[in-house]
Amino acid sequence: MKKIIAVVVVVLAGVCFAQSPREVEVVAEVSLTNQTSDTGGTLFTPSETGVFRVNLMVQCTGNQQPQGTLDPEFLWADDNGREGSFLSSIPCGNPSLPATSIFIIKATPALPIFWEMRAGGRATSTYEVYIALERIGPKVQ
């Protein structure tokens, strides 16, 4: 009887560990300070289809008039083809609190995940941008 209980405990423990949640993996990071113009580039090129969380923080740190805007953009491909996220403009002319955005994407290897920060209007004020791209899900069929 004790052997049967021991076997059941071992099997249940194995099932519990097999169903434990997958850890989040940071696959790309950007950390730029003292920016005064457009910047961007390839953030990550997936080798297989997956689900990703994009974490963005932008902060205007300079004092420049007239005030302009910062316009964050992200491009990637999923099963429907090319996709994009054009986030709300961020006023930039005076030092400000950070603007943040977090969103989820499904990306395929068809196109790299691309980001760009456009300095709209006459934005020449100094700003910082931080991005973390996390793989949060297994490949999706």
**pLDDT tens, per residue, the chain with 141 residues:** 556 555 545 555 555 555 556 678 999 999 999 998 899 999 999 999 999 999 999 999 988 777 888 999 999 999 999 999 999 888 888 888 999 999 999 999 989 999 999 987 665 688 999 999 999 987 555
pLDDT confidence of residue 82: 94
pLDDT confidence of residue 36: 87
Choose among 119, 134, 123: nearest CA to 40: 119
Interacting residues of 13 by C-beta distance below 8 A, sequence separation 6+: none
75 and 83 in contact (C-beta within 8 Å)? yes
Strand, helix or coil at 141? coil
43 and 105 in contact (C-beta within 8 Å)? no
Say yes or no: domain 25-137 is CATH 2.60.120.260: yes
Radius of gyration of the chain (CA): 21
pLDDT confidence of residue 80: 92
**Omega before 66 within 30 of 0, i.e. cis:** yes
Q: Which residues sit opposite 35 in a β-bridge?
A: 127
Cα 119 from Cα 52, distance rounded (Å): 26
